[in-house]
Structure 1
Amino acid sequence: MATAQYALLKESAGADGAALLRIVVANGGRQMIYADRAVAMLAELARDDPTVLGVVGLVESRTSTARALRELNQVGLPVLAPTLSADRMDANSRLYLQISAPNKDQVKLVDAYAKQVLKVNDAHVFYTTLEGSSLTEDLYVGTLVDGLRQQFGTRITRLDEWRTGQRLTDECGYPGMLFYAGRWTEFDGFLRALRECGGNPPRHLVADDSANRYMANPGLRAAAPGNLPVTYVSKAALATCAALRAAQDRRDDDARASFLSWIQADDLLDPPRCRPGSEEQVGERVSLAYDASMMLVRAVESLAARLHHADPRQRWEPESVNPVGVHAEVLRQNAGQGYPGVAGLIRFTPDSGEPVDKRLALMRVEQVPDVATAPVEVFRCGAADGSGPAACGPA
């Protein structure tokens, strides 16, 4: 969001009608346990300040998050969620728009990879829920596990909940796909348990997209087995340093080229990201939140421009643009070719807040403790842009 704010400040210096982005940070607490309080404060702020036009965020697809969405819908605030992906989160709010692909698409990606690349038929699935949580409360893990059950059917020959301290020696040398369908907070313990396999690790370990938060933590990765390659789901593979540089070299992708220039700037991120010869990568979630923020702002600019065109003499008034109108304008702008996001094309159907054919990818690291080597994209599904079909296949 800071990157979006920076980009808009650069634009506004030389452009009439450019909107500025003011960010108010609201913290719903760990696992969104204080979401109710945060929403109440947002509602009060929105009543007092007509320039509050939407919410970018909400973290972790849980029942508390779904409840927050319902309350924000009653308040009349649209929500653009960068990373939520539990299936049918949009059922909780008519003002909800999701930037990332839903879990049903993630399941199809993993299934296609197992068939096309790994050439394996059966899978073992382990999921995790935090102490005090459950599959019913954790909508991300719950819908992911349900989707795997439906997609793989009898090809899942083992489906178990994994808890910290549980041994995994039965998985040593397993030739099928071993899929981790849990939260990143338990992934470290899961990998540590596989250390017992020594030189006979499972052949194909694949993890869900939550694992990217583990993969971004060098301290945690240092204790992982060195002989265990990991492949994991990414919601933003198009916004890695390598992908952004490739887009810049092609000179045919203004959105990614501009984003790269912002994150490389001297006066924004500390340290700057994706500079030549630098090992500082851009975070998985940065481009997703940037896309959400820019979609919201472009809708505000469009509404303001239409109001000005209708009456050029009219002085700008914040009350002339309201949150519900901004949500409608996002959908109106999206109705054609979709929004060219940095992390992939964003398209919605009129009756859903879930994106259609949103890009997902599988990233692979050969040595988890080797944090100096960037993950490599090995498989993908979904559209990068509107130029062709969104088929699944090797990268």
Structure 2
Amino acid sequence: MAVCAVVVALLGVGGLVLGAERRYRQAHCGLSRFNADADTLRTAETGECIGVARHGFTFHSPDPSLDRTLQKIYAQNAVAEQEHQAAPERPFVTLVHLSALLSVSGKLSGQLAYGREALQGAASAQSRQLRSSGATEPILRIFPANAGSGMRFGPRVVEILDRLKEQDPSLVGVTGLDQSREATNRTIRQLTAVGLPMVATTLSADSLVRQSPMYFQVSPQNAREAEVAAAYADHVVRTGAGKPARRVRIIASADPSDTYSRTLSDDVERRFRARKFAVERTSFTPPPPPGQEPASDAPGPGTVGQRSCSYPGVVFFAGRSEDFESLLGGINESCNSAPPVLIGGDDVARLAADADRRGHYPGIPYDFLDFTLGSAHCDGTSELYAELSRLFPEECAKVPNSSLDGHAALGFDAVKLYVNAVKQLREEAAQMPLTPPAVWHAISGVHGDEALDGASGIISFGGEVDRQVPLDKLLSVQRIDKTGRPVQAGFCGRVGGRKQAAWCPALEPEEG
């Protein structure tokens, strides 16, 4: 009986241990407590894996290309740690690439192209640093992090980052961020509260800069995007084929949490009215996430597309790429032989980045705003493409049919801003600790002779103390013609010594 009692007790203890381990795995993305990444990863109530990955976790990615990109970054992190051990006198810094792009629930792998390319740009900047050897050249690590679909769990991830920052003083800032939504605003404010500067890659909503003085972006704001769009539409009305009427229908999301769509549509209305366009607005309801109710009783994007077939003016779409794809589907059903004149905001570039999705409606031409020139060549003629051709040759093979440079270039330049800030601090104050506030201050001084001549255009904060958005940042208009491939229709902004299109708004003078 004594032996039986001992066996029963041992079985009970074993069951408790196994139960505790099962619960731990469920709470930490399926990882055991002995996995090095488990401590900074959490399973959200949506089933998504959120948090920070430092040691090789790929967030259950269904996309082999994204998986290879993450593995390349982790391999480079290992090299960075070895170089730091070999040359401890060089600055050693860590950046966190935080976004919603790793939230793959319900998404096809092709829809991850946009975020994957931004990560590849960041990896290319990291690779370049690993091959640099100067005393002030920083050795760089990058930790991928996921804030969940729509950035909804961003504040929760920042709590993890705050604890990580206390353990790892090399962590100096955040890049990435994704989708201008209310959850993104909360994430920015939370990052400010824990003292981490941010350089966003593709965000554009006007309200973002009001969330924090520690926030910067390498992309233009919606206000500038709207100004360029109105100037281009004016050019199309005066000189384009068919000469549409001086009218615009602005199509925007009815989702109240979509800051991007709301602010872009407001800006577009103001800028088009200033150019004497008659303006009307139409809302659509995006498909809700599983288990949630629709945001409004407005029609879906496909129905709005059908109703736009007979519109005689310009149709401007100020929503998300997946909803623009549905809008194209509606147009294709009702008037593919005579579609309206379509212009999309920059989020449409996510659709253009995926050649397969882009080719679903080859007979419907449209224009969209892009944050780069939209003409990539992996021939080693620039820092970015020299690295891309080395690290991701399979991606370079896709360049003729993609807008790879638009996304990779922004990711590359966001990291370069940090790299240049650290170099400047080491050159001007070698003994100053490389803290997040010091790096933030150095980034704010990027203007004039210190401006970054980046892969996505000139990045200059204009000499104004509180400017957080690049001055006259590059915006191009890309046209998807009937072959389904993007062709540049013109660009506005500062791009080295190149001259912007004649129809563009005038450039602003740089202060100081």
| TM-score, normalised relative to structure 1 | 0.83
| Aligned-residue offset at 1:171 | 2.6
State the partner residue of 1:288. Answer: 410
| Aligned-residue offset at 1:300 | 1.1
Q: Is the 8 A contact 1:32 1:65 kept in 2?
A: yes
State the partner residue of 1:252. Answer: none
| Aligned-residue offset at 1:170 | 4.0
The 5 Å alignment of 1:362-377 reads 362-367=477-482, 370=483, 373=485, 375-377=486-488
1:78 matched to 2:197: yes
| Aligned-residue offset at 1:166 | 1.5
| Aligned-residue offset at 1:380 | 1.7
Cα distance in 1 between the residues matched to 2:203 and 2:319: 14
State the partner residue of 2:318. Answer: 181
State the partner residue of 2:55. Answer: none
**Of 326, 339, 343, which residue of structure 1 is paired with 2:452?**
339
CA, structure 1 residues 172+274, in 2 after alignment: closer, same or farther (shift >3 Å)? same
Over 4 Å off, 4+ runs:
277-281, 387-392
Q: Deviations over 1:271-324 (max 9, x none)?
A: 14169x96565252111011010110121122123344x6xxxxxxxx821111
For 1:216, the aligned partner's letter is A
The 5 Å alignment of 1:107-256 reads 107-119=226-238, 120-129=245-254, 133-134=255-256, 137-153=257-273, 155-162=277-284, 163-166=300-303, 168-195=305-332, 196-202=334-340, 204-224=341-361, 226-237=362-373, 240-241=375-376, 248=381
Percent of paired sites with the same residue? 27
Q: Is the 8 A contact 1:264 1:274 kept in 2?
A: no
State the partner residue of 1:6. Answer: 127
CA, structure 1 residues 392+296, in 2 after alignment: closer, same or farther (shift >3 Å)? farther
Q: Which has the higher contact order (CA 8 A, sep 6+)?
A: 1
| Aligned-residue offset at 1:350 | 1.7
Q: Is the 8 A contact 2:302 2:329 kept in 1?
A: no
| Aligned-residue offset at 1:384 | 0.8
CA, structure 1 residues 5+185, in 2 after alignment: closer, same or farther (shift >3 Å)? same
| Aligned-residue offset at 1:173 | 4.5
1:48 matched to 2:176: no
Cα distance in 1 between the residues matched to 2:280 and 2:402: 39
Cα distance in 2 between the residues matched to 1:40 and 1:335: 37
| Aligned-residue offset at 1:227 | 2.4
1:378 matched to 2:492: no
Cα distance in 2 between the residues matched to 1:303 and 1:269: 32
Q: Is the 8 A contact 1:172 1:201 kept in 2?
A: yes
State the partner residue of 1:251. Answer: none
Q: State the secondary structure of the residue aligned to 1:71.
A: helix
CA, structure 1 residues 48+187, in 2 after alignment: closer, same or farther (shift >3 Å)? same
1:353 matched to 2:353: no
**Of 254, 259, 263, which residue of structure 1 is paired with 2:384?**
259
| Aligned-residue offset at 1:157 | 3.7
Cα distance in 2 between the residues matched to 1:93 and 1:232: 29
Cα distance in 2 between the residues matched to 1:67 and 1:233: 27
| Aligned-residue offset at 1:356 | 1.3
Q: State the secondary structure of the residue aligned to 1:24.
A: strand
Highest CA radius of gyration, 1 or 2?
2
| TM-score, normalised relative to structure 2 | 0.65
Q: Is the 8 A contact 2:305 2:330 kept in 1?
A: yes
| Aligned-residue offset at 1:105 | 0.5
State the partner residue of 1:313. Answer: none
Cα distance in 1 between the residues matched to 2:400 and 2:358: 20
Q: Deviations over 1:165-188 (max 9, x none)?
A: 415444324332111111112111
Q: Deviations over 1:78-107 (max 9, x none)?
A: 000011100031111111111100000110
Cα distance in 1 between the residues matched to 2:224 and 2:356: 31
Cα distance in 2 between the residues matched to 1:164 and 1:231: 18
Q: Is the 8 A contact 1:149 1:156 kept in 2?
A: no
**Number of residue pairs matched by the alignment:** 357
Cα distance in 1 between the residues matched to 2:145 and 2:411: 15
For 2:371, the aligned partner's letter is K
Q: Is the 8 A contact 1:274 1:282 kept in 2?
A: no
Q: Is the 8 A contact 2:305 2:328 kept in 1?
A: no
State the partner residue of 1:315. Answer: none
CA, structure 1 residues 241+198, in 2 after alignment: closer, same or farther (shift >3 Å)? closer
CA, structure 1 residues 199+18, in 2 after alignment: closer, same or farther (shift >3 Å)? same
| Aligned-residue offset at 1:390 | 6.1
CA, structure 1 residues 280+94, in 2 after alignment: closer, same or farther (shift >3 Å)? closer
Cα distance in 2 between the residues matched to 1:167 and 1:64: 27
Q: State the secondary structure of the residue aligned to 1:287.
A: helix
Unpaired stretches in structure 1, ≥5 consecutive residues: 249-256, 311-318
For 1:344, the aligned partner's letter is G
Q: Is the 8 A contact 1:291 1:341 kept in 2?
A: yes
For 1:2, the aligned partner's letter is A
What value does the CA root-mean-square deviation take over the aligned residues? Answer: 2.4
The 5 Å alignment of 1:85-96 reads 85-96=204-215
